[in-house]
Amino acid sequence: MNVTYLDAIREAQAKALAQDDRVFLYGQDIAGFGGAFKATKRLAEEFPGRVLDSPISEDAMVGLAIGAAIDGMRPIIEMQFADFSSIAFNQIVNQAGTHYYRTGVPVPFVIRLPSGGNKGSGPFHSQSLESLYAHFPGLVVLMPATVEDAYTMLLDAVSLDDPVIFCEHKMLYYHLKAEKLPEEGLPIGKARIARAGTHATVVTAGAMLHEALKAANQLAEEAWDIEVVDLRSAKPIDTDTLLASVARTGRILCVAESFPWGGLNAEVIARVVGEGFHLLDAPPMRLNSRDTPIPYHPNLWAAHRPTAASITTALRKLLGF
């Protein structure tokens, strides 16, 4: 069997619907049509009445999920693209994010954000918003980078008693494949050493993991031994795993597809410097997308976000320090 990252997301939702009556799906074009990316293909048929098309109302979609979660359900909301979740920003950060702290009543639901860029997707269908949501209290922010994680982390997200922003990467949907779906994975909040190494640590997540691995393999030809950490979770951050890695390598490069100002990379570096300054042999580095809207043309887009090539260049600089 060959399962794609998208299949994993579809299968995780099918399993969640099958094993838990409280689960329902709500989003634009997700019922009969099966979703813009087909992540809910045939689920409306298999689970009648539990996969519902919503109007184009992101604010109300998330508001509804919060109400249903308060009332004991476990909704999964599909945003058609991560970018449109900005319309629901208020419900996500002010309603969902504050609810447990204010009232003591948790709101368990998942918002799936088809995230990240693709050739030609342009400024409004390419964003990576994990840093934005991680900034606010009361939300768990996950970034699966593998088929296996897409599957187990989505199931774990549905089981979690708190709101989860599930940043699935569109670029991985069709190309990333696995033999089969796993029985279980690492727990939520744990990072994974995707490639062990000794000379430098690359900390990354989502689609950037694969760019980082390519860069590491390329440098391996020059006898550099790069460790790659897949964060898996933007919030919480598994600081222990990061520090342990930096203790081994003494050097850290953070790579993220999100915009450069603040954010996940800055947060990781702040923690490593704050708690592991003595472990560092070189100033920490970061690579992000540029501080412009995400450009349309593939040439511009490829130069806008980090790639294996730009990661390799950055690593050479870090190793040369």
Partner 1 sequence: MGIVGQLDDCRKLEFGEGDRGATYSDFRTSCSEIGCAARKPFFRVTRVSAAKTHRPLSTRATSKNQTIAPHKLYLPTYKWMLLARVLEDKLASLYRSGKIVGGVYLGRGQEAFSAALSVHLDQAGGDVYAPLIRDMAGRLAFGEALIDPMRTYLGSPLGPMRGRDGNIHRGRPREGMLAMISHLGAMVSVVNGVLLARRLRGISGQVGAACVGDGATSTGSFHEAMNQAAVEKLPLVVAVANNQFAYSTPTDRQYACADLVDRAAGYGVMGYRCDGTNLEECLTTFGEAVRRAREGEGPQLVVGTLLRLSGHGEHDDASYVPAAVRKSALAADCIELAGQRILERRWAGEADLATWKSDAVNQVEEVLEQVASEPVPDPTGEAWCSLSVRHLCEGNLGA
Q: Secondary structure of the chain: what % helix, strand, coil (to 5)?
A: 45, 15, 40
Kindly tell me which of 81 and 224 has the beta carbon lying closer to partner 1: 81
Looking at residue 33, the DSSP 8-state letter turns out to be T
CA distance 7 to 154: 12
For the CA atoms of 141, 312, 272, 256, what is the dihedral angle to 10 degrees? -20
The whole-angstrom distance between residue 320's C-alpha and the CA centroid of its chain comes to: 31
What strands, in cross-sheet order, belong to the sheet with 200-204?
192-195, 226-230, 200-204, 252-255, 285-287
Kindly tell me which of 136 and 296 has the beta carbon lying closer to partner 1: 136
State in angstroms the smallest separation of the CB of 100 from partner 1.
5
Which of 5, 62, 65 has its CA nearest to residue 39? Answer: 5
Kindly tell me which of 104 and 320 has the beta carbon lying closer to partner 1: 104
The question of whether 125 is a catalytic residue gets the answer yes
Tokens of 67: 């109400």
Kindly tell me which of 54 and 121 has the beta carbon lying closer to partner 1: 54
Residues that bind partner 1 (CB under 8 A): 24, 49-50, 54-55, 57-73, 75, 87, 90-91, 94-95, 97-106, 137-138, 140, 160-162, 188-189, 235-237
Kindly tell me which of 99 and 251 has the beta carbon lying closer to partner 1: 99
Catalytic one among 99, 125, 169, 304? 125
Kindly tell me which of 91 and 245 has the beta carbon lying closer to partner 1: 91
The whole-angstrom distance between residue 304's C-alpha and the CA centroid of its chain comes to: 19
State in angstroms the smallest separation of the CB of 70 from partner 1.
5
State in angstroms the smallest separation of the CB of 254 from partner 1.
17
The whole-angstrom distance between residue 30's C-alpha and the CA centroid of its chain comes to: 21
CA distance 194 to 241: 12
Looking at residue 32, the DSSP 8-state letter turns out to be T
The per-residue DSSP string of 98-125 comes to: HHHHHHS-----EEEEEES--TT--TTS
Kindly tell me which of 95 and 288 has the beta carbon lying closer to partner 1: 95
The per-residue DSSP string of 74-94 comes to: EEEEEPSSGGGGGGGHIIIII
* CB burial readout 228-264, b (16+ within 10 A) else e: bbbbbbbbebbbebbbbbbebbebbbbbbbbbeeebb
Strand partners, 319: none
Q: Which residues are catalytic?
A: 125
